[in-house]
Amino acid sequence: MSYPWGMVRGMDLNGRRAVVVGLAREGEALTRFLVQRGCRVLATDLRAPAAFGDRLAALAAAGVELVLGEHPPAVLDEAEIVFVSPGVPFDAPLLQAARARGVALSTESRLFCQLCSAPIAAITGSSGKTTTTTLVGEMLKAAHYRTWVGGNIGQPLIGNVDDIEATDRVVMELSSFQLEYYHPSANAHVRDVHPVWLPLLSGWSPSVGAILNVTPNHLDRHPTMEAYLHAKRAIVAYRRPWDVAVLGRDNAHTRALGEMLPGDVRWFSRKSAVDCGAHTTGFDRHAAIVLRCASPDESATTTASDPIALRTHGERWVCQIQDLRLRGDHNIENVLAACVVADALGVPVHAMRQVATTFSGVRHRLERVAEVGGVGYYNDSIATSPERLVAALRAFDEPIVLLAGGRDKHLPWDEAAQLILTRTRHVILFGESAELIAAALDRARTACQATSQALPLTTVHRCVRLEDAVALAGELASPGDVVLLSPGCTSFDAYADFAERGDRFRELVSQMSANATDGGRFAPTCVEHL
């Protein structure tokens, strides 16, 4: 079936006036794109000029007006629209000033979606976004589609929009920070706007929109859980009749949303069968993934010995769960979701099978870094919430030495604390939130005493830095153990982002491996052993 995938193109930006707030990856790419289209651009960033190195000279030479080190309201004086980078809070003073003046607000990703002529699959969720997005991209490539992957991962796609053709496929990861601006309510304050910007003020959802799950997250950024949910809903709220919504059936929030949505809604579930979508046929490693209500694939075969199954007009098997290289139940869910999204984009089963059985993961997401002295070291720096830490702990049967800490996001720790005490031999806390997590562990231990349960044998240690925590883990771990960096917190107390923290962990493990060869040791600086 042929779908009218194309979006509005040919926006005449010549002479228009735009302000770009934030000159990180997205902001800089958007600034260059707008200037190339003849737009008059003022770009502002709170960082001082020294933070940008040689990049400023090229922007200035292109005619960009730069205001750095502050966001004075005067930058809005001639603005027709303000493009906001994801790192800029929704309630930032400059954005409040823009609303007071009636100036329209948008983002790089929203503009890209408006201009892109290819079908877009966009994926959001509290966890699993990057892995699922990457899986879908690889499945499309295996099916020989010309594929573009971006959004919240990789390079911003706005610079490629003129190269993307209608027969291509685009896969985007979108965060709640980006999706806030996909709702018309984000521009309810606008009193007047040039017609060229009007399409950006309407609600927009992709051809295939997926919400994997919603759990408390980013509540340091969103004022309430409802505000967080509202942002996520944009990805499916404005679908056209032929568009597809893909939702996680096992999550209460996404299940409730999907049951209210009209049109083509497809599900994925690890816990129960679904009428339209993908599910597993059991809970062990021999279970199957089954996909229904999708395009027939005559080349696929159904055999009981090959059970991650895809059911579309009958059952078709992709592979056994035990053939997946990804660890953890949450990654089974990611594969399920990827199969449903890929199927909606026209990917045949054999391409899904090829990727599902060979894909080993994305850096910083349960990434196996090395084995040192019989101990496996895993980097899960992406785990910036207790909920993601819980998923990581459940991915291992081996004894665990857990490294957790960083900057807290005002999320509950009680459930995670209970699992930490039952799944780990040692937990090493570091960073700003060490005391907070230690208190949650104390409460969990007290709860065990109050209910006459056996006291957990987990030992709790507190260190100053990640470097100290890794060194101590090397001292505590025994052959056959797993040392797991799954912080449950953001990195912003010590690192620019989770990737920098994960890279530092990788470096430390590499040094430890070299020291083990030389017989050397690094002495940890621990505050307390409990």
d(CA 5, CA 253): 29
Type of residue numbered 145: Y
Strand 375-379 to 482-485 pairing: parallel
The DSSP result for 449-501, as a single string, is HHTTPPPP--EEEEESSHHHHHHHHHHH--TT-EEEE--SSBSTTTSSSHHHH
Sheet holding 17-21, edge to edge: 65-68, 40-45, 17-21, 81-84, 104-106
Predicted local confidence at residue 293, as pLDDT: 56
CATH 3.30.2130.10 fits 367-529, yes or no: no
Type of residue numbered 262: P
| Assigned CATH class of 14-106 | alpha beta
Predicted local confidence at residue 311, as pLDDT: 46
Cα-Cα-Cα-Cα dihedral sign, residues 34, 36, 38, 42: positive
Report the chain (530 residues): mean pLDDT per 10 consecutive residues: 39 93 94 95 95 90 95 96 92 96 97 96 94 97 98 92 96 94 95 92 96 80 82 95 96 95 94 86 69 50 43 63 87 95 93 92 91 95 94 93 94 93 95 96 88 76 95 95 97 93 97 73 43
d(CA 189, CA 103): 8
Burial class (CB in 10 A: 0-12, 13-18, 19+), 61: exposed
Give me the residue spans of the domains in the chain. Answer: 14-106, 107-356, 367-529
For residue 407, give the nearest of 493, 510, 322, 482 by alpha carbon.
493
Predicted local confidence at residue 303, as pLDDT: 40
Interacting residues of 77 by C-beta distance below 8 A, sequence separation 6+: none
Beta bridge partners of 430: 405
CATH number of 107-356: 3.40.1190.10
Interacting residues of 497 by C-beta distance below 8 A, sequence separation 6+: 491
Q: Maximum Cα–Cα distance for the chain, whole Å?
A: 73
d(CA 474, CA 313): 53
d(CA 245, CA 236): 6
Q: Residue 23 has which token pair?
A: 């000159």
